[in-house]
């Protein structure tokens, strides 16, 4: 493949991965909100244990880690394809 073709392919792949990421973001946010509510982890309570506080923190960061992993993997794949050819 020529360098221009690889760049167009990379852009198309990045857009496709971005769309899939956006589609999965809403259900993951809903899942995070459900896990943090009063009936489950009760993260808004001031009398929860340290372990529960850390679990709330991990649940909060889950969406960020998902987005960062997907975008990082897509960028890494595009960069790898560009340097191979």
pLDDT by residue for the chain (85 residues), tens digit each?
677 787 788 788 888 888 998 999 999 999 999 999 999 999 999 899 999 999 999 999 999 999 899 888 888 887 777 676 5
Q: What is the spatial distance between Cα 43 and Cα 39, in angstroms, rounded to a whole number?
A: 10
What's the pLDDT score for residue 5? 81
Residue written as tokens 């897509």?
74
User: Do 36 and 43 meet the contact criterion of CB atoms below 8 Å apart?
Assistant: yes
SS3 29: helix
Find tokens 């191979």 and name the residue: 84
Q: What is the pLDDT of residue 85?
A: 57
What 8-state DSSP symbol labels residue 38?
Answer: T
Give the pLDDT of residue 47. 92
- Phi, psi torsion values for 29, nearest 5 degrees: -65, -45
According to the model, what pLDDT value does residue 55 have? Answer: 93
């Amino acid at each position: 493949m020529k360098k221009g073709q690889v760049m167009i392919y990379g852009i198309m792949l990045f857009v496709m991965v971005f769309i899939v990421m956006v589609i999965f973001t809403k259900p993951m946010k809903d899942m995070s909100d459900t896990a943090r509510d009063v009936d489950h982890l009760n993260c808004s309570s001031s009398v929860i244990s340290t372990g529960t506080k850390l679990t709330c923190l991990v649940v909060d960061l889950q969406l960020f880690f998902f987005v960062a992993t997907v975008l990082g993997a897509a960028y890494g794949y595009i960069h790898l394809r560009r340097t191979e050819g």
